[in-house]
């Protein structure tokens, strides 16, 4: 998750860290599959609030009251003793298994291209902060070594915090193991993460300059692992209503159709920032409308400029802004048009059914939109609603990072 902090420049000191993480013999490439979170229940306003907090944006009053009501209901259910089988509104839909330590401790992590920390629930936390998550216990790992004096402390937009200490330990994703990888063991986490009963932490895949460890930043797992890969790339093939895959070190031609269209990524802020050329709604004429955004696998919704969002929902019968929900809602029975996003020389079509994110309540009459405004963020956020509609290449070639976009079978 991206914290509310000043953006860190990638310092020369990070280069020195590269030698701190010896690798296993070169493996070339590998693929890892997501696993479904059985506790997931989609809730659009909660995902919007989570995204605003992630990027340090104040949550509007109406939406804040909505989330407060959800929290009160959750606490009431838990107090009644029926919480064990009650899904939480904040849960991540798909997670990826990661092995940490020796012998390995398997945790399900959110692979997040919008952040650069590998942090996990740990045995260092108070027991009441752990609500079903699997924890990392460094005392049970023969390869764990605490980094003396190192700490991390993230402040989110709602002023809650997550913080902890740092260990170096083996971390295995797929068949690639990084030794002495920085693992940020939580000692305290914010309520957003305590609610995610099946989410054991995050594995950041943005650029290492965003890492929050002090006094010296840690390299991301990918920046350490890239030494053992054939190519400095990873790809996301996310799916609609089913688990997708991440590939590392290879671009699998069977997963996309046609050519990959590349656009340069601006990594100076630490994000996978890129430019978009315009959009169209349904079968309308493409409208040139350049804007900047980031590719963020750790965000569920897509937040784009308000005029474009308004233009889209003009085509949806009954759509309106609901301040209590925090954004656009519409009758669940409405037929949503496709949304076409221009990126480089290609146009990615996001099916209308992807944009009908979820009902706002159990009645199933009113639904929340997967496209919402990026007001207050400072840039657009191209999250999973859009990423599921394309095959996306994250090319970390040092001279010029770039993002590749290609069509695929939906």
- Active-site pick, 169, 200, 237, 296: 296
Residue 196 is among the residues annotated as catalytic for this protein? no
- Active-site pick, 91, 112, 237, 247: 112
| Per-residue CA distances from 228 to 221, 224, 225, 249 (Å) | 12, 9, 6, 9
The span from the first CA to the last CA of the chain, in angstroms, equals: 27
Residue 395 is among the residues annotated as catalytic for this protein? no
Residue 402's Cα: distance from chain center in Å?
Answer: 18
Which residues form the catalytic set? 112, 296
């Amino acid at each position: 998750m991206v914290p509310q902090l000043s953006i860190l420049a990638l310092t020369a000191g990070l280069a020195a860290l590269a030698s701190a993480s010896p690798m296993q013999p070169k493996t070339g490439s590998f693929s890892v599959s997501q696993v479904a979170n059985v506790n997931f229940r989609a809730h659009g306003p909660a995902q919007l609030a989570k995204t605003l907090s992630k990027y340090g944006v104040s949550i509007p009053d109406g939406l804040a009251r909505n989330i407060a009501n959800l929290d009160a209901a959750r606490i009431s259910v838990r107090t009644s003793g029926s919480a064990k089988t009650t899904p939480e509104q904040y849960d991540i839909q798909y997670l990826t298994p990661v092995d940490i330590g020796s012998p390995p401790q398997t945790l399900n992590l959110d692979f997040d291209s919008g952040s650069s920390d590998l942090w996990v629930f740990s045995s260092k936390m108070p027991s009441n902060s752990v609500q079903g998550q699997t924890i990392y216990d460094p005392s049970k790992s023969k390869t764990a070594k605490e980094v003396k004096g190192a700490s991390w402390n993230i402040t989110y937009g709602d002023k809650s915090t997550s913080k902890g200490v740092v260990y170096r330990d083996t971390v295995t994703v797929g068949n690639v193991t990084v030794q002495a990888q920085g693992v940020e063991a939580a000692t305290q986490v914010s309520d957003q993460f305590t609610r995610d009963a099946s989410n054991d932490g995050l594995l950041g895949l943005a650029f290492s300059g965003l890492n929050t460890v002090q006094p010296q930043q840690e390299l991301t797992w990918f920046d350490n692992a890239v030494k053992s890969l054939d190519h400095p790339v990873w790809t996301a093939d996310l799916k609609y209503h089913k688990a997708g895959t991440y590939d590392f070190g290879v671009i699998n031609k069977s997963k996309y159709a046609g050519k990959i269209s590349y656009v340069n990524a601006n990594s100076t802020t630490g994000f996978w920032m890129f430019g978009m050329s315009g959009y169209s709604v349904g079968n309308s004429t493409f409208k040139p409308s350049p804007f900047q955004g980031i590719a963020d696998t750790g965000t569920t919704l897509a937040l784009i400029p308000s005029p474009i969002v308004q233009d889209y929902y003009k085509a949806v019968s009954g759509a309106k802004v609901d301040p209590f929900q925090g954004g656009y809602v519409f009758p669940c029975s409405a037929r949503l048009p496709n949304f076409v996003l221009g990126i480089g020389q290609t146009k990615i079509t996001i099916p209308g059914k992807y944009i009908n994110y979820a009902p706002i309540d159990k009645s199933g009459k009113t639904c929340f939109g997967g496209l919402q405004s990026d007001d207050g963020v400072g840039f657009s956020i191209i999250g999973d609603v859009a990423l599921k509609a394309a095959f996306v290449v994250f090319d970390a070639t040092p001279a010029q990072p770039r993002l590749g976009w290609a069509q695929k079978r939906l």
